[in-house]
């Protein structure tokens, strides 16, 4: 149980375009989802906390206008990287929990390459 599906697993886009990444909880409802970013050989950095039906909470230093998060339902959160630039190339990974104190269940991540 507690499966999180993330799509796409990899994407290559041109500089200036926007990319949408989807995160779905398949067998549980997730009122809260978390978006992380990971640079090569580094740890996961929390970007934002996505709350169903309300605005996302962004971490300090994360541009909310660049990384748009929408949590439209209890099973879906999306991250849109707007006007992507090469420095946005990274591994983006979402996570959710099925109850308050449960471990985070992660999607398989999305490798974004901006050319």
Distance CA 72, CA 75 (A): 8
Give the binding range for another protein (CB under 8 A) out of 11-19, 21-29, 72-80, 98-106: 98-106
> Is residue 8 a contact partner of residue 93, using CB atoms and an 8 Å limit?
no
Token pair 């300090």 in the structure block, residue? 60
* Residue 82 vs 106, nearer CB to another protein: 106
Least Cβ distance, residue 45 to another protein (angstroms): 8
49, 70, 82, 89: which one binds another protein (CB under 8 A): 49
By CB under 8 A, name the one of 54, 61, 65, 100 that touches another protein.
Answer: 100
| Region 54-73 residues binding another protein, contact defined as CB under 8 A | 57
* Concatenated DSSP letters of 29-41: --SEEEEEEE-TT
Q: Strands 110-114 and 10-13, how do they pair?
A: parallel
């Amino acid at each position: 149980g507690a499966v999180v599906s993330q799509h796409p697993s990899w994407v290559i886009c041109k500089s200036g375009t926007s990319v949408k990444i989807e995160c779905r909880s398949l067998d549980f409802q997730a009122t809260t989802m978390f978006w992380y970013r990971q640079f090569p050989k580094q740890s996961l950095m929390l970007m934002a906390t996505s709350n169903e039906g309300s605005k996302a909470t962004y971490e300090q230093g994360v541009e909310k206008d660049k990384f748009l998060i929408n949590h439209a339902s209890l099973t879906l959160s999306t991250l849109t990287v707007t006007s992507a630039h090469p420095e946005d190339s990274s591994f983006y990974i979402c996570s959710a929990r099925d109850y308050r104190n449960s471990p985070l269940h992660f999607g398989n991540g999305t490798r974004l390459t901006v050319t």
